[in-house]
Structure formats: structure tokens, C-alpha cells
Amino acid sequence: MSASSYPADSSAFNENILSVALISPDKQCRSVLTSALGECHSGPLREFTTYPSGPDDASTMLGYNFDVIIIDLDSNHEQALYLVEILCVQSQAVVMVLSERKDPDLLLKCMHAGAREFLTLPLAPGALAEALMRASALRSSLRAPVKTDCRMLVFLGAKGGSGVTTLACNFAVSLARESERKTLLIDLNLPLGDAAINFGIRAQYSIVNAFQNSGRLDANFLAGLLVQHSSGLFVLAAPNELGSTYVSSDAIDKLLEVACQNFDFVVVDAGSRFDLRCRHLLYESSTVYLVTQVGVPELRNSHRMIAQLSSAGKAKLEIVLNRYDPRTNGIDEEHIDKALTRPAQWKIPNDYAAVRRMQNTATPFADDDSPISRTIRQMTRSVSGQSAIMEKKKLFSFFQ
């Protein structure tokens, strides 16, 4: 972007004035920066002459009350890089770094640490103004109100092998198509989820990148991690490689919060071993689809999970009987309802051939007209409101 792309005067920031902290032990460096800031910035500015020694010192010294923090790299680049990492994890500030060195390796290290801007001395005309303009836009997006109409649809298995991923993937594709609204599928089935494989897509980034950078996760960062399926559905894939499966509930909550700020529907494949303490999954706007099968172990697990889910939050709970075939179940409807303590809302027909075909060809059920696809479309229409619309159309057509 050229230096003339943004106006180099303070009027550009009047609607969203930024508070700036400048950290540099070098007096000459501080003088150069304060002079440049005086030409394009009218907000609060505070100078710090030493680097904080650690997270606690940084919290005490800065208070995390600044919109922008500019850090001089040259006085002590190791300590400066450490400070960048601390601030990017624990603060919502936009971190910029400053150096006389035009070193690609140093730039890469700074970006990996979380720095948003790399300023080089001597400053090019307009460079600082452009960086502040980008910081202003980013801070505005972070302060944007949370979408109140986002729906969270969580697929949770009562037992491994219940078919959660297959249902979540096909549900998400059908929902994106039926609703024609912005839809995201998050593969939270760690350590190795199969959503990307089911869609035949290869993701460069995964949900792990979101967790590792939860301190600076925002709409722009999340967008860079997603892959878009041909149906229009966005996908945040699980990692390709086996790794640690521990993720803090705070990191998951942050991811879901950012996702809900930017999508109309967020579908979550939670697998079968999910920690239900994550509060965003159980909001009033959430629906949890408990996926189970007709078998003694599955129904036993379902009974216990229904009790836990019912007491854990205000999310709507719907039971999905997958691979349902009343001719071969061996357990009648009365005993199924008794085990589940309620009737199942959805019964997905058993069609092994269709499932295998999808897995081998990466073609969702939504592309076919089958008993499975029709049932899944009924599920998505109940979420998107299409069922009521279609019933009205049928009624209107009847009276023509």
C-alpha cells in the first residue's frame, strides 16, 4: 500500500482516537517517534524508558490500557521479542515494533510473536500514519457489538463411532445452502477430526493455530485460518498431525465468541469426549444435537449426558438417533424413549452405502436425494425457518 493511500493527518483518527504507549530505553529513538506521532496522532501518548521484566511487571507498568504499543527492538531485541509475546497473549493492544534493521528473519520472528506492524527507521513518509490507520480499523472491529442473532449448532456424540462428524458436515452444508446465510463449521473433534477429509479439502491452517494465538484472535485472524467449501460453507479444520489434545476452556470460548460475531450460523463438531464447561456452547441461542444409536452402551451414555446437558445451561437439546432401522434395532420405541427420558426429535435412516460413497468421493449427502439427505434438510430447515415458509407455500398453492 502506497504512502498516499491514507491521509497523514490527525483528522483521520478523530472518530476513534488511539492511546499509544512507546517503549524504548533509547532517548533518540523515543524522540524520533514522538516527533512522527505529533504529525499524525492527537491521542494520549506515554513514553516508557525501560522494558518490563516479565508478565507481572508488564501488567503493573502498562495496565493494558493502551490501544497501540510501539516497542523498540534495537536496544535489546531478545527482551523486546519476549515483551511482544507477552503483550500479544495478555493484551488486546495492537503491538508494533521498530528497528533500524531490515532483517527478514527478524521480521518473521516479530510476526510469529504477534506483532501487527514492523516499522523501519528512518520512517518513510506516511508509514506511521498508515500503521495507525490500520490499528484504528482493527480496534474498531474488536469493539464491534456481538451478533445477537447468531445460532450455535453443536453436534455431540454419546459414544465414539456414533457418526457425529458425518452428520455435522452434511448438516452444515445443507444449512449453508438452505439458509443462504454465512455459515461456519468448526471441527473441534480433537485430536484428529475428519471434516476436511469428508469435504475433500486440504487446509493450510487448523483450529490449533486459533488456540495458540487466542490472545490476538479476531475476525481478520480467524478469516485467515478458514477454507471455503464449494457449497459456500466455511470450515475451520482440525489439525492434520497428532498432537497434544489439551485446550483450555477459555481458548475455546474465545474462538466461539469471535466466530459468533462474524457468522449467522456456527456448527460445531464436538466429537464424543467434549468438556461441557465451555460456556459459549450452552448459550440460550445454542442447540445441542446429541447423536446416539440404538444400542445398550449408547443409550446408557445418552441417559447420563442428557442429565448433564439439561443442568449445564440453557441450550436447547435435541436427540438424534443415527443409523436408525426399526426392523433391526432389537429395542422397541417404548424402551428407547424410557432410556432417553424423552422421545428423539430426529431419526436418521441407516444407509451404509450412501455414507461410504460420501467418504470415498467427498460428496455431501446434500448433493443427493436420499432418505438421509431429506431428513437432514428437515433438520436444517427447522433451524433456518425454511420449514414454515415451505408449509405456507404449500398451503397457498393448495388454495389456488
For the chain, domain boundaries: 3-142, 151-398
Determine the CATH number of domain 151-398: 3.40.50.300
CB 150 within 8 A of CB 266: yes
CB 199 within 8 A of CB 235: yes
Is residue 5's pLDDT more than 60?
A: no
Is residue 74's pLDDT more than 90?
A: yes
Q: What is the pLDDT of residues 172-228, one digit of tens each?
A: 999 999 998 999 999 988 877 888 888 888 887 889 888 888 877 888 788 888 888
Whole-number Å distance between alpha carbons of 268 and 277: 15
pLDDT value of position 387 = 56
Sequence letter at residue 366: A
| For residues 158-170, average pLDDT | 88
Is residue 247's pLDDT more than 60?
A: yes
Q: Would you place residue 53 in the very low, low, confident or very high pLDDT band (cuts 50, 70, 90)?
A: confident
pLDDT value of position 198 = 86
**Nearest-CA neighbor of 319 among 277, 291, 298?**
291
Superfamily of chain region 3-142: Response regulator (3.40.50.2300)
pTM value? Answer: 0.62
Residue 6 DSSP label: S
Is residue 59's pLDDT more than 60?
A: yes
Does 7 sit behind a cis peptide bond, omega within 30 degrees of 0 on the bond before it?
A: no
Q: Would you place residue 6 in the very low, low, confident or very high pLDDT band (cuts 50, 70, 90)?
A: very low
pLDDT value of position 141 = 56
CB 348 within 8 A of CB 322: yes
Fold matches, 3-142 and 151-398: yes
Report how far apart, in Å, the C-alpha atoms of 290 and of each of 144, 171, 324 are.
Answer: 33, 14, 14
Q: What is the pLDDT of residues 86-128, one digit of tens each?
A: 887 767 788 999 999 888 888 888 888 888 899 999 998 889 9
Is residue 148's pLDDT more than 80?
A: no
**Nearest-CA neighbor of 274 among 294, 247, 300?**
247
Is residue 343's pLDDT more than 50?
A: yes
pLDDT value of position 94 = 87
Q: Would you place residue 146 in the very low, low, confident or very high pLDDT band (cuts 50, 70, 90)?
A: low
User: Which carries the bigger pLDDT value, residue 196 or residue 248?
Assistant: 196
pLDDT value of position 223 = 83
The C-alpha angle 124, 126, 128, rounded to 5 degrees, equals: 85
Sequence letter at residue 143: R
- Quote the percentage of the chain above a pLDDT of 90: 28
CB 66 within 8 A of CB 21: yes
| For residues 154-168, average pLDDT | 89
pLDDT value of position 110 = 86
45 - beta bridge partners?
20
Extract the C-alpha cell encoding 146.
456481538
Q: What is the pLDDT of residues 119-142, one digit of tens each?
A: 999 998 889 999 998 888 776 655
Q: Would you place residue 147 in the very low, low, confident or very high pLDDT band (cuts 50, 70, 90)?
A: low
Q: Identify the burial level of 271 via C-beta atoms within 10 angstroms of its C-beta, where 0-12 means exposed, 13-18 middle and 19 or more buried.
A: buried
When the pLDDT of each residue in the chain is averaged and rounded to a whole number, the result is: 81
Extract the C-alpha cell encoding 133.
490507520
292 - beta bridge partners?
321
Residue 64 DSSP label: T
pLDDT value of position 12 = 35
pLDDT value of position 220 = 75
Is residue 309's pLDDT more than 50?
A: yes
Q: Given the C-alpha cell 517503549, which residue does it identify? A: 23
pLDDT value of position 365 = 77
